[in-house]
Each structure stands twice: as C-alpha cells, then as structure tokens.
Amino acid sequence: MNTRYALRMIDLLNTSFAQFISVILVVFSSGIYGFRYLRHEISLPRSFWKTLPVLIMATIAVYFNAAPMLSIAMLLCALGDYFLSRGQAQFIPGLLAFLAGHIAYIALFYTLSEGAVFYWPMLLIALYSSVFGTYMWRATGKYRWPVVVYIVVITAMVGISLTLPSAFFLTVVGVFVFVFSDSVLAVRMFIVRDERIKLMMSWAVWISYIAGQSLILIGVAGAT
C-alpha cells in the first residue's frame, strides 16, 4: 500500500513538473517574440520565434496523450504562423494553413461533442460573422473570397465547440478568444492605417492568440 502510494506521488510530481516546464516554455517563447520580434522586419529568427509557441503546444498535447487531432490542428496553425510571419505575399498560404487547422479543430470537437445539438448562442455567432464579413467585404479586396470562406469555417468551429460537454469549458472560452484574435488581426491588416494603432493591435492579436490556443490545449488535455 505504501509503495503504491509513493509511486502515485512520484507520478503526480512528474506530471506537475512537466506542466510547469510546459507553461514556462510557452510563456518564454511567446515573450521572446512579443518583446523582441513583434515590431521587427521579416527574418528567419522572427519566423522561428513566432512559430515556436504553438509548436511547443502541439508537442505538449502529444506528451500528455491528448487527442491526436489536437496536435494536428496546432501543427497546422503553427504552419500558418510561419507563413504569416513571412509577409503579405504569404497571406494566402497562411490563411489556408489556419483554415486546415480550424477544420481539424472541427473534427476534434465533433468527436468530443454530445452530438448535433442546437443552442441559441449559435444564432448570435452566425449574426456576428455575417456583420463582420459584410464589414470586411470591400476592405479585403482581392482576398475577399478566401476571407469569406475562412469566416464560414471559423464560425462552424465556434458553433460546434458549443456542443462540447461542460468539462471542456476552457476549450470553448479558448475558441472565443481565438475568434477575437482573428477579428482584431483582420481589422489591423485591412482597415487600420495608423502605425501606432496597428502596433497596439498587434500586441492584442498576439496575446489573445496565445491565450486562446493555450485554453484550447488545457481544456482538451485536461478533460481527456
């Protein structure tokens, strides 16, 4: 009995230590990009530090035996981070990578959900997406159709996240924070012209993006 208890405590200590190290790695790598490279010109070090935090999250998901689709979704998002860090010329590859990541999230949430259930907040989400898509329509120019498709897919991701059991509450919060991040990013890219405001919005995008992905990871890994 004592031996079994001791082994259980060692396992808990190892798990807690791994979680602690995971948090440190994500916070550290995110901070390096935010404080050192957020305002820098395009470069390989900038791309590396922007891509690294979500790559670490994907690795954490594997380490803690979370659903494999979670790691796939995060790897695709990390690929999107890399493309977007390479400038406007790589916007479409970046958008497609994130689109694939959201589809992976949809597949993940579907497997974890309680089935096809309608909740009235889904109507509010659809309304928000419609209004936001209309607002962005002219400003996005040649990118308008890819952006519209992206909005439809991310709306579906948010909708299906609402069908998750209550144990995945943090995941649902993370999805909404992710949507906030993407909305601010779109306005920053296509609407705002003032460089000082764009810089403040870049901070908002980065912080909310990392927070959203982290909450999704914690929610799924913790509940499964």
- b/e code 149-180 from CB counts within 10 Å (16+ = b): ebbebbbbbbbbbbbbeeebebbbbbbbbbbb
pTM of the model: 0.89
- Please state, in angstroms and rounded to a whole number, the distance separating the CA atoms of residues 109 and 106: 5
Residue 99's pLDDT is what? 97
Q: What is the pLDDT of residue 73?
A: 98
Distances (CA, A) of 106 to 3, 53, 121: 43, 22, 17
What CA–CA distance (Å, rounded) separates 136 from 206?
Answer: 21
- Whole-number pLDDT of residue 118: 66
Q: What is the mean pLDDT of the chain?
A: 90
Q: Where are the domains of the chain?
A: 2-223
DSSP state of 40: S
pLDDT digits (tens, 9 = 90+) for 121-159: 889 999 999 999 999 999 999 999 999 999 999 999 999
Environment class of residue 37 by beta-carbon count within 10 Å: exposed (0-12), middle (13-18) or buried (19+)?
A: middle
- pLDDT for res 51: 97
Distances (CA, A) of 66 to 6, 58, 59: 26, 10, 10
The H or E element containing residue 133 is helix 121-137
